[in-house]
């Protein structure tokens, strides 16, 4: 529910990791991404100039990773850049058509706020105060995007019917957690309600 008033002009739609890597037949396939894709596209169409996208970019190989990521990429060796078809890093059609130059932010981990801080600086330079968040996966990269945005002081609106996970249980649990524990900072609403509030 939209609790804190209209979504104003200082808002963008942040679409997290809606990539072929998670949609195609890979070990990381998120089975119900196709189900939420039309809702994500609704958000893209609603404010075409206000879309920002993130892409998860795997490590080159485990040896180039740092700390616990080295162990992680040893397990997921087939997903490393040395082994992966680079086309799988692309945004899924039809979302790629909404990705104007300078609106896609690559990241080497779950959070879009780490690495060089480029996304946060860009949003602040644009005067952005509110993020409408969609994407994959609810309980991994979307979670990192949401909590990081809260820490940075953004108003966060999670589009509940435009996020997806490969785990129904943790998807549902995260949406409940956002509402129960972060109600002053995170709003949970369906796409239609978001569009009505974002005029």
Does pTM top 0.85 for this prediction? yes
Which residues form the domain of 177? 11-57+88-197
Residue 175 lies in a domain: yes
- Percent of the chain surpassing pLDDT 70: 100
Please check whether residue 65 lies inside any domain of the structure: no
Q: Residue 111 — very low, low, confident or very high, per pLDDT cuts 50/70/90?
A: very high
Residue 81 lies in a domain: no
96, part of any domain: yes
- Residue 71 counted as domain residue: no
Residue 103 lies in a domain: yes
Q: What CATH number corresponds to the domain at position 125?
A: 3.40.50.850
pLDDT at 116: 80
For range 162-187, the mean pLDDT: 92
Report in angstroms the alpha-carbon separations of 101 from 2, 38, 95, 98.
Answer: 31, 22, 13, 10
How many folded domains does the chain comprise?
1
List the alpha helices (DSSP H) in 51-140. 68-75, 118-125
- pLDDT of the residue at 167: 87
When pLDDT is cut at 50, 70 and 90, the band that residue 156 belongs to is very high
Please determine, for residue 128, whether its predicted confidence score (pLDDT) is greater than 90: yes
pLDDT at residue number 11: 98
Instruction: Tell me: pLDDT of 168 over 80.
Output: yes
Q: Is residue 115 pLDDT above 90, yes or no?
A: no
- Higher confidence at residue 10 or residue 115? 10
């Amino acid at each position: 529910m939209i609790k804190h008033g209209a979504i104003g002009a200082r808002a963008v739609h942040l679409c997290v990791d809606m990539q072929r890597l998670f949609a195609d037949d890979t070990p990381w396939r998120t089975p119900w991404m196709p189900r939420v894709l039309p809702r994500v596209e609704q958000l893209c169409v609603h404010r075409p100039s206000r879309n920002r996208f993130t892409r998860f970019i795997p490590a080159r190989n485990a040896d180039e990773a740092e700390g616990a990521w080295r162990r992680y990429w040893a397990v997921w060796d087939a997903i490393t850049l040395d082994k992966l078809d680079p086309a799988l890093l692309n945004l899924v059609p039809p979302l790629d058509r909404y990705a104007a130059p300078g609106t896609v932010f690559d990241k080497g981990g779950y959070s879009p706020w780490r690495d060089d801080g480029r996304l946060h600086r860009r949003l602040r330079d644009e005067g952005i105060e509110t993020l409408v968040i969609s994407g994959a996966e609810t309980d991994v990269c979307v979670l990192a995007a949401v909590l990081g945005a809260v820490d940075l002081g953004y108003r966060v609106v999670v589009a509940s019917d435009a996020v997806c996970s490969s785990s129904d249980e943790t998807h549902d649990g995260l949406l409940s957690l956002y509402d129960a524990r972060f109600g002053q900072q995170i709003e949970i609403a369906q796409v239609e309600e978001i569009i009505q509030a974002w005029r």
